[in-house]
Structure 1
Amino acid sequence: MASDDRHDSAPDLRILGDHITLQPSGFVEPALTGEEGKEEALMKNMARFRSEPLRFLREVSLYVSGTGWRAYDDVIGQPIFYSGFSEHIKTEIMSATLLQTKISQLADMRVTVEEKEGLLNTDDKDFASKKAQRRAVLVQSLQEVAENLTDNMICKFESKPFIRGAYYLVTQLLLRAYHQGIHVSSEEVLRLRRVAEEAARKKQSIIFLPCHRSHVDYVSMQLLCYRLGLALPVVVAGDNLNFPVVGSFLQHAGAMYIRRSFGDDQLYTTLVQSYIDTLLQGGYNLECFIEGGRSRTGKLLPPKFGILNFVLDSLLSGRVDDAIICPVSTQYDKVIETEGYVTELLGVPKKKENLADFLTGGSSLLSLRLGRVDVRFHEPWSLRGFINEQTARLSKIPSTIDVDWKDMKNQAVRQKLLRTLGYKVLADINAVSVVMPTALIGTVLLTLRGRGVGRTELIRRVEWLSDRVQAKGGRVAHFGNAPLSDVIERGLEVLGKDLVTVVEGLAEPTYYAVDRFQLSFYRNMTIHLFISEALVAAALYMRIKQGGGPAIQDIPYQEVLDQVLFLSSLFRGEFIYSGEGLATNLEKTLLGLEADNIILIERDEEGHITKIGLSGAERAAGRENYDFYCFLIWPFIEASWLAAVSLMGLSPPLGHKDDIWVQVSKAQESAQLLGKTLYHQGDLSYFEAVNKETLKNSYQRFQEEGIIQVVKSKDARIPPRLRIAPEWRPGRDEETGSLLASGRLWDFTEKIASSRREGKNRRDGATVSTRVVKLTDELGRKLFEEAVRGEEGKGKGKGKGKGKGKGKVATPVRLSSEEEKSLSRSVLEQKRRRRLEGRAHL
């Protein structure tokens, strides 16, 4: 497996002392003892006291004394870990012109308000001096607030003995859990060191942008940078991790804490910007997760633009000349948190981080055997170069709106650059990601029909999938000369019997997925490689599901194009597509499927594609390769279909006014309940379709296209609310009040359903148009009744708890005049944004 040199992801780096050398193909030459050569991981298990007490004590003494590379003295990058580092950074932040200007503005604004409210007497003969005194007091107060916020926010690289001890402790824990070590590509690491040396010379920062699947992500990055002699990056972390003991530990190891939401806090926003400026101006390395939070589904999430926006502003404003972007992929044989992810995706509220859980989790790590971690670094690139390239490109493209693409103060220009930057980073991460054996096994088990698979068949399909991954330009984890059967056994052992089990005592050992929901996390690690093929397969399924021979199942090219266009737009927030454009990408995909003998293509005399169908060879093979692509995308199609069906129930019942708004979270919970019901009744094929993240993404996509409208109150205690846009609202029977399976939203739902896997009622739309619609209508009625009842109940209890200032407020079911105006602006802004993006619409 992975023998092709083009896709070799061998951990072929050997570090001896301070010297880093390249090894050929991940193979360490055997000693003269006659032993076979072995694979060399960058970081391997350390000695344990019980088994090797002398070696253990020697290792501890080396770290305590700081011998060789462990001293962390000769690092590539700006000086860190010295007494006074934190004070130096605080001084730089507090003296920043941007921050001081904002403090002056806020003080002036407050003085003006107090003057208007009569708190400052303008008739007083000493008015000018009292006003100046009041302003000085406000400035001093804001300075103190900013200093306190800064102290809580910034990382504190203060002590080398601390970081040496932290490195040893964390490495002991991590490498006992991931017992096969942390692996890297030597070519990528040596390239990164060269880039780091050049960046240090120019005093430029390297901004590491990793994917985020586990808390181990930032731990592994810090460990690698330490081991490779690179200056540790400052890691952007949510303040939810800043809890007693652990928060301080992480802060001294590199964490900077920021709020999850800034709201309208101008001082805090400016403070974060000043800190980012200070880091980039000083050439300090930075790390933030492009997806924001951890992915609970196994695939990349849409980019979050918060910190990227600050970084981009630093350059566009001219306060920083340049920075180096380095996308990073971190892959695991098994992710520690997946079991917790499943409960969250099924609607169980996320637990707040605390010390007890941290200690419990840390101790349990020692008994785990989770395989290995593979870290891959994309070739770093200049952010300034990216900006210049994009503005030059955009200036040449005809636009539907009048925009000067070289005007860096224009918000439309900034938004376009920011979005392009985010998706480029995601594409780069996908490009260097390594597919682990557990991902291969999980993908195979979830893309085969039937309850289980025999050992021979499992090996055959894993080998086929491995070849397909490499043919698509992907990488498969390197295991030296180990036979594929051994690699699969290793992967099954890591997954464990809770995920995959084997039935013994049969003619052949047979494996089946025990927890398909959790196993889908590993399947989703491969889907980015085959998304184009999956979309085409789903489009072809519109005809193939009808059964019969080629004459019935063959489909005109235009129908395939239309459905692929629709599905690709539907999943725009779920997957990362090729930047070549739909038509080019579709043609390449069809030609690839034709070359693989999965489809047959009919062409006219001029060579244009006219009709597409399954090949005879694929039919003879039981559609196994075609089905593979369908099984990849079907769970996501089901989730979007479920979300669309759930919207039907949001049509106001007879007797209710049209302007009733319900909480977004309540609507999504209702959709999840609908999905669980339909799954257990057999109308939904995939239980993972009810997962919270995918439903949330579908609702977000529907909002972008104006199918639903969402309002957010300025009062943080009032949650976001939604309604169906009037033009999308389905009708009701005037006599019975029953929801009608007709209208624009119903047609939209049917278009999704045309590529959906058949359930128990094959080709029978009546079950959906009657029973399922009736069920979603009943759930919708409960939502409306609960919303109205909640508002009325809170209204009657108005005044209770007065003076506490923390009481819950009623969630209004109707909008205020100010919110109506905000909604109108939002609708116009969405239309403008759709024109700016120039993308296909649903």
Structure 2
Amino acid sequence: MAQDDDPTRDSAPDLQILGDQITLQPRSYVEARRDGDHEEALMHNMARFRSEPLQFLREVSLYVSGMGWRAYDKVIGQPIFYSGFSEHMKNSVVSAPLLQARISHLADRRLELEEKEGWLRKDDKDFAGMKAHRRAVVEEGIQAVAEKMTNDMICKFESKTFIRGAYYMVTQLLTRAYHQGIHVSSEEVLRLRKVAEEAERKKQSIIFLPSHRSHVDYVSMQLICYRLGLALPVVVAGDNLNFPVVGNFLQHAGAMWIRRSFGNDTLYTTLVQAYIDTLLQGGYNFECFIEGGRSRTGKLLSPKFGILSFILDSLLSGRVEDAIICPVSTQYDKVIETEGYVTELLGVPKKKENLADFLKGSSVLSLKLGRVDVRFHEPWSLRGYIDEQLTKLTKSPESLSMNTKTAENAAIKQKLLRTMGYKVLSDINDVSVVMPTALIGTVLLTLRGRGVGMSELLRRIEWLTARVGAKGGRVAHFGNAPLADVVERGLDVLGKDLVGSIEGLAEPTYYAVDRFQLSFYRNMTIHLFISEALVSASMYTRVKQGGGPANQEISYTALRDQVLFLSSLFRGEFIFPSDGLAVNLEKTLIGLENDRVIKLQRDEKGTIYSIGLAEEERIAGRENYDFYCFLIWPFIESSWLSAVSLMGLTPPLGHNDDVWIEVAKAQNTAQLLGKTLYHQGDLSYFEAVNKETLKNSYTRFEEEGIIYAVKPKDKKAPPRLRLSPEWMPSRDPRSGALRAEGKLWDFIEHISSSRREGKNRRDGATVSTRVLRLADVLGGGLYEEAAAPGGESRMDVGVAEEMKVVLKAERRRRKLEGRAQL
């Protein structure tokens, strides 16, 4: 089929970029849903040799000869892609004063050790000369190691011919997988180009901080920068992708290889800092992922502060004057890796990347995965942000010197990192668009019943689209295409493996085939409605009790307390509005009242004292209220499961409490417990056994001192944990059975009060007996294994006591900061 006959080619307007000129093609203009927001298709499918051999050869010749914008000339930014670029960067890094000071320090330490061991003796006749010679040898050796590590690490922008060929090849592959191309907002990219021009003039770097759901994220960013005529950013990449052939290709296309863990290697740590300093001092664009790794769940992960810490140190130290931060959202109709994510989340260990799997995985390129939507938040000055935050954090920021290492400076830097990380995540959420597949997945997983007819599916998607807009979100638009066509297109992209249909009925009926994988797309919308979901789940503590409307009302105080509890429980799981609990709760309640979901009872002063379901919502079958509950219930289930699994960490009778369990084994046992409870009917959502969410819950429990976790000094030894004594459940002294009482059990019941009611959970006593027995059996197996000879489970008493002191200090610090406690 010829290109012009392909109906998917012009599914959205085209943005034509020729060199440094950007032109909107008149035939492509489509009025967007929001004023001043024109969304454009950045790429089209390219010609294929079999169907259009002449057009294919013409396109190849354009790339090879570098005609028009394909020449990648007049790029906005600092010079890259010239012979000798890599050597220049390597020399700049290894000669950096910071790195040279570290090499000198390491040489001093080495000489001190050699003197201590008797290799160098002060009573030797020519001690000073021997020491100077030895220092020179040691420094030369460390320098050689630094040069080798630098060469392996740095990005190698060397050849325009290479990057033109790489762009063509990658575009060919990407537009076959994502057949509707990459879409951007023309206003955002025009603004980005202006910012880039100003940054070039000031010799400042643009630091792109994208969300991370797929390996396609950094590919799409490089393609966009190429098409816009921006200097390609250096991309921070884990060295797990640095395997033969592919690693070398990526390094010449922009990858900077770093280890997954630095450990105590001070030379390597300083080398990374020196390279980042060199890039930012030179005004080279830079890209790293704010979440660290890819999100396996579809929603944004908590920020990782590793690379951000290096960037912040560059500015706080004064080695770099300023840099521009640009948060980026990348959304997909369908993510290539979701099937693999499900496998990992169900407990199958992740395979190491290799060329064979890469080539095998390329078969997905024959699929039709829809489109990629990339959105750029308005860039902001990092120096301006730091100055603003320091003014809030200290009384006299002008006299503050961040060059010295003090406890106060370390605390200030940690606060800066945290606030900056969550600001970037909030900015990403602000500009993210909701894809049709996310709308479909969200609706299918928030409806009661086995399936839904097409008319009802369209009605609920239309309602959800309106709600997204009302919450300040944006839905990816398809010009003037009818909603039914957009939904049909989304169903085709999701495919029959995710959404099934039943024919031969009164109307086409659709149902979720793989709810676990479909939850990835539902989670792309949850950030917009997290406040409503928490309020609805808190109200459910009364709604689930049944009875008349009056019996299901909840007092404002009880609602606020439960919202506070759930917010604290999910502090590491979601990005919450920054207004504070009281303001955000009032906004949410008024919003739900205006939407006729809830009814607020006020006293004569206008103060809310009671909340219940609105009569209109009851008549409508609670469909909107249930929608918000269905969004949060899987996460409540997962937290409940994690807490129940902690009951199994109670030492059996006759065992001392100094036995420590491997963290990974405890979490794997929690997952096994969840799978069992799901199939026995005591767990409503299979996605509650999600390994990532269970891990987040354990981290949250550690933060609150419910469990103690320690990392042994031996790097090969795995982290271990045990229950805190104050949270330890009791056992029946005769039978040894766990008792459904105590602080931990009350905590579990507190979570359970907002769980979805089910047929197997109406008799609490029966459930507590059955579930606790199973948790105890599984936990007992962990103790038998850990306490066995050679189990290496017992921690040094001094270390355990030290950890208790640290945890108590951490709890005091959180109280001083006024954070909500579980």
Scaled to the shorter chain, the TM-score interval is: over 0.9
What TM-score do the two structures reach when normalised by structure 2?
0.95
SS of alignment partner, residue 294 of structure 2: coil
Match in the other structure for 1:771: 770
Matches within 5 A, 1:672-821: 672-789=671-788, 792=789, 794=790, 812-816=792-796, 819-820=799-800
For residues 325 and 11 of structure 1, do their structure 2 counterparts lie closer, same or farther at Cα, with a shift above 3 Å needed? Answer: farther
| Residue in 2 that maps onto 1:589 | 588
Partner residue in 2 for 1:175: 175
Kept in 1, the 8 Å contact 2:39–2:186? The answer is no
Query: How many angstroms does 1:24 deviate by?
Result: 8.0
The TM-score normalised by the length of structure 1 is 0.93
Q: Which residue of 2 aligns with 1:390?
A: 389
Alignment of 1:545-560 (within 5 A): 545-560=544-559
Please state how far the C-alpha of 1:540 moved relative to its aligned partner. 0.1
Mapped partners of 1:327, 1:383: distance in 2: 12
Q: What is residue 343 of structure 1 aligned with on the other side?
A: 343
Q: Determine the C-alpha separation between the residues in 2 that align with 1:28 and 1:726.
A: 64
Query: How far apart are 1:764 and its partner, in Å?
Result: 2.0
Pairwise CA distance, 1:10: 7.3
| Per-residue Cα deviation, 1:49-98 (whole angstroms, up to 9, x for no partner) | 11111111000000000001101111000000011111111111111111
- C-alpha distance in structure 1 between counterparts of 2:569 and 2:394, whole Å: 29
Paired residues of 1:204 and 1:284 also in contact (CA < 8 A): yes
1:39 deviation in Å? 8.7
Match of 2:480 in 1: 481
Counterpart of 2:187, as a letter, is: E
Distance in 2 of aligned mates of 1:124 and 1:14:
76
Q: Contact 1:546/1:763 (CA < 8 Å) preserved in 2?
A: no
Alignment of 1:588-607 (within 5 A): 588-607=587-606
> Residue in 1 aligned with 2:21?
19
Paired residues of 2:209 and 2:325 also in contact (CA < 8 A) = yes
Deviations 1:601-633 (A, max 9, x none): 000111110000000010000000000000000
Q: CA offset at residue 656 of structure 1?
A: 1.0
Contact 1:10 1:184 in 2 (8 A): no
What corresponds to 1:231 in structure 2? Answer: 231
The residue type equivalent to 2:419 in the other structure is: T
Does the Cα contact within 8 Å between 1:239 and 1:259 map onto a contact in 2?
yes
* Structure 2 CA distance for partners of 1:11 and 1:238, relative to 1, 3 Å: farther
> Contact (CA 8 Å) 2:39, 2:184: kept in 1 or not?
no
Aligned amino acid, residue 226 of structure 2: Y
Corresponding residue number in structure 1 for 2:810: 830
Aligned partner of 1:240 in structure 2 is 240
Q: Distance in 1 between matches of 2:570 and 2:198?
A: 40
Q: Is the Cα contact below 8 Å between 2:156 and 2:252 reproduced in 1?
A: yes
The equivalences for 1:256-335 within 5 A come to: 256-335=256-335
Q: Tell me if the contact between 2:682 and 2:761 (Cα under 8 Å) persists in the aligned partners.
A: no
The correspondence of residues 103-182 of structure 1 with structure 2, limited to 5 A, is: 103-182=103-182
For the pair 1:60 / 2:75, whether they are aligned, the reply is no
1:23 Cα deviation after fit: 6.4
Counterpart CA distance in 2 for 1:91 and 1:840 is: 50
| One-letter amino acid of the counterpart of residue 120, structure 1 | L
Task: Determine the structure 1 residue equivalent to 2:199.
Answer: 199
Which aligned pairs between 1:631-642 and structure 2 lie closer than 5 A?
Answer: 631-642=630-641
1:406-434 deviation digits (Å, cap 9, x = unpaired): 55351110000000000000000000001
TM-superposed CA distance for 1:365, in Å, is: 3.3
Q: Gaps spanning 5+ residues in structure 1: where?
A: 1-8, 30-37, 398-402, 795-810
Contact kept, 8 Å, 1:479 with 1:487, in 2: the verdict is: yes
User: 1:549, CA displacement in angstroms?
Assistant: 1.0
Q: Report deviation, 1:121.
A: 2.2
Q: Which moved more, 1:9-18 or 1:455-464?
A: 9-18
- CA distance in 1 between counterparts of 2:398 and 2:69 reads 51
- Which moves more between the two structures, 87-96 or 110-119? 110-119
1:107 and 1:135 in contact (8 A); partners too: yes
1:629 maps to a residue whose letter is Y
Q: Which amino acid aligns with 1:15?
A: I
Aligned residue type for 2:250: L
Which residue is 1:421 aligned to?
Answer: 420
State the alpha-carbon separation in 2 of the partners of residues 825 and 116 from structure 1: 35
Give the deviation of 1:26 after TM superposition.
Answer: 6.1
Matches within 5 A, 1:359-508: 359-362=359-362, 364-395=363-394, 406=400, 408=402, 409=404, 410-508=409-507
Per-residue deviation at 1:14? Answer: 3.4
Equivalent residue for 1:222?
A: 222
Tell me how far apart the structure 1 counterparts of residues 593 and 23 of structure 2 sit (CA, whole Å).
Answer: 44
1:404, distance to aligned residue in structure 2 (A): 11
**Aligned-partner Cα distance in 2 for 1:763–1:173:** 53
**Whole-angstrom CA distance in 2 between matches of 1:221 and 1:470:** 26
- 2:5 aligns with none
- Contact 1:12 1:24 (C-alpha < 8 Å) held by counterparts: no
Match of 1:33 in 2: none
Q: Which residue does the alignment assign to 1:653?
A: 652
Deviations 1:544-596 (A, max 9, x none): 00011111100000000000000001001110011110000000000000000
Pair 472,199 (structure 1): closer, same or farther in 2 beyond 3 Å: same
Q: What amino acid is aligned across from residue 744 of structure 2 in structure 1?
A: L
Task: Provide the secondary structure at the position in 2 that maps to 1:262.
Answer: coil
The amino acid that maps onto 1:231 is: A
Aligned length: 801
Indicate if the aligned counterparts of 2:597 and 2:625 stay in contact, CA closer than 8 A: yes
What letter matches 1:497 in structure 2? Answer: K
Post-superposition Cα deviations, 1:740-770, rounded to whole Å, max 9, x if no partner, equal 1111111111100000001223432113321
Deviation of 1:825 (Å): 5.3
Match of 1:541, SS state, is helix
Q: Which residue of 2 aligns with 1:42?
A: 42
CA distance in 2, matches of 1:837, 1:135: 48
Counterpart amino acid of residue 473 in structure 2: G
Where 2:257 maps in the other structure, the secondary structure is: strand
Q: Please tell me whether the aligned partners of residues 539 and 564 of structure 1 are also in contact (alpha carbons under 8 angstroms).
A: yes
In the alignment, residue 803 of structure 2 is paired with which amino acid?
Answer: L
Aligned CA distance change for structure 1 residues 755 and 464 (closer, same or farther; 3 Å): same
Quote the Cα distance in structure 2 between the aligned partners of 1:63 and 1:177.
21
25 and 53 in structure 1: CA distance in 2 versus 1, 3 angstrom threshold: closer
Partner of 1:671: 670
The equivalent of 1:800 in structure 2 is none
Structure 1 residues 350 and 836: alpha-carbon distance in aligned structure 2, compared to 1, 3 A threshold: farther
- 1:803 equivalent in structure 2: none
Structure 1 residues 495 and 102: CA distance shift in structure 2, 3 A: same
| In 2, Cα distance between equivalents of 1:24 and 1:635 | 47
Are 1:637 and 1:756, in contact at CA under 8 Å, matched by a contact in 2? yes
Contact 2:342 2:516 in 1 (8 A): yes
Give the drift of 1:19.
Answer: 2.0
Letter in structure 1 aligned against 2:820: A
Counterpart code for 1:171: T
Distance 1:635 1:444 in 2: 15
CA distance, structure 1, for counterparts of residue 15 and residue 775 of structure 2: 57
Corresponding residue SS for 1:328: strand
**Structure 1 residue 640, shift from structure 2 partner:** 0.3
| SS class of match (1:184) | strand
How far is 1:508 from its partner? 0.9
Letter in 1 for 2:294: R
Moved more, 824-833 or 593-602: 824-833
Structure 1 residues 61-100: aligned runs within 5 Å:
61-100=61-100
Q: Which moved more, 1:824-833 or 1:180-189?
A: 824-833
**SS of the residue aligned with 2:187?**
helix
Q: What is the alpha-carbon distance in structure 1 between the residues aligned to residue 353 and residue 600 of structure 2?
A: 55
Aligned counterpart, 2:819? 839
Alpha-carbon distance change, 780 to 26 in structure 1, aligned in 2, over 3 angstroms: farther
SS at match of 1:675: helix
Opposite residue 596 of structure 1, the aligned amino acid is: D
Structure 2 gaps of 5+ residues are: 1-10, 32-37
